[in-house]
Amino acid sequence: MDSIDMFDLLKRGPASQTEEMRIELYEKVNALGIGAQGLGGLTTVLDVKISLYPTHAASKPVGMIPNCAATRHAHFVLDGSGPAYCEPPPLSSYPDVHWKPDLEKSTAVDLNKLTPAEVASWKPGQTLLLSGKMLTGRDAAHKRIADMLAKGESLPVDFKNRVIYYVGPVDPVGDEVVGPAGPTTSTRMDKFTDLMLDQAGLIAMIGKAERGPTAIEAIRKHKAAYLMAVGGSAYLVSKAIKGSRVLAFEDLGMEAIYEFDVKDMPVTVAVDAKGESVHVTGPKIWQAKIGKIPVVPA
């Protein structure tokens, strides 16, 4: 993958049709106001690359690959002389993070005493610090739960008035309580949301990124909430986990249902009990600020 050079390109101007298209796509995408993690902002993409390949004129294929801002690419050359060795970056290259919970800007929530009424009081964009016990579960666990309920079988875990975290934790190393435990993409659980809220009895979910219309409608109908954990920082999130044990579906490995005991785990209310999503309202606000796309007020 080529290095990011959009700012240099904008400074010198395009020298070809391909570069003109790169700039056009870059400006139009950023004008959407989607922003980091879809919450709205000036920058949605840092660069746009276009690769051209020969093909039949009638085909006109187009392939698009969105690339995460968290660069996960290693460049190396294999010349047949042996393995390639990549020098790891020094730890000094990473930011020295000393995060502390801010109780003045965030609301402390006791998961062990959480009620539907408290969930219904949360507002979109509100930051919370979660403490207490939560359940975990992702794709495989949700599928098995759905199959069990369809057969009329009893669930091995009581989900009534509980919060579930969409995560598959990595095994701990040394004295760790749990390994990296960042949120997984929540839309994969959208098709199970109504079932989990209605039949299982959940009152809130934690995950990464936006929820689709089906899930948002289920959240609104059951007056639940969807909370967004910080994506891309699985190791830091795991530091809020003080206890971990498997409750069910142990055969699923990292996709088993765990119970985490957390302390001041930071999350943001992404969808409230009224069905308002910050992934919808945030970009609209920034579209209006950027002013390049007409916005019709609700």
pLDDT tens-digit readout, 129-167: 999 999 999 999 999 999 999 999 999 999 999 999 999
pLDDT surpassing 60 at residue 70: no
pLDDT at 69: 52
User: At residue 38, what are phi and psi to the nearest 5 degrees?
Assistant: 75, 15
What is the torsion angle, in degrees rounded to the nearest 10, for the CA atoms of residue 208, residue 67, residue 92 and residue 229?
-10
**Which residues are registered as beta bridge partners of 261?**
133, 243
pLDDT at 283: 92
- Nearest Cα to 66, choosing from 195, 192, 209, 189? 209
Q: Which residue has the higher pLDDT, 292 or 228?
A: 228
Long-range contacts of 21-29 (CB under 8 A, 24+ apart): 21/50, 22/47, 22/48, 22/49, 22/50, 27/292
pLDDT at 234: 83
pLDDT digits (tens, 9 = 90+) for 262-279: 999 999 999 999 999 999
Is 266:228 a contact under the CB 8 Å cutoff? Answer: no
pLDDT at 298: 54
pTM: 0.83
**Rounded average pLDDT over 104-127:** 95
Confidence band (pLDDT; 50, 70, 90) for 67?
A: low
Q: Tell me what the pLDDT averaged over the chain comes to.
A: 91
The percentage of the chain sitting over the pLDDT mark of 70, rounded to a whole number, equals: 96
pLDDT at 28: 93
| CA gap 246, 141 in Å, rounded | 12
Residue 30 — left, alpha, or beta (φ > 0 → left; ψ -120 to 50 → alpha)?
Answer: alpha
pLDDT digits (tens, 9 = 90+) for 203-235: 999 999 899 999 999 999 999 999 999 877 788
Burial of 84 (0-12, 13-18, 19+ CB in 10 A): exposed
pLDDT digits (tens, 9 = 90+) for 166-199: 999 999 999 999 999 999 999 999 999 999 999 9
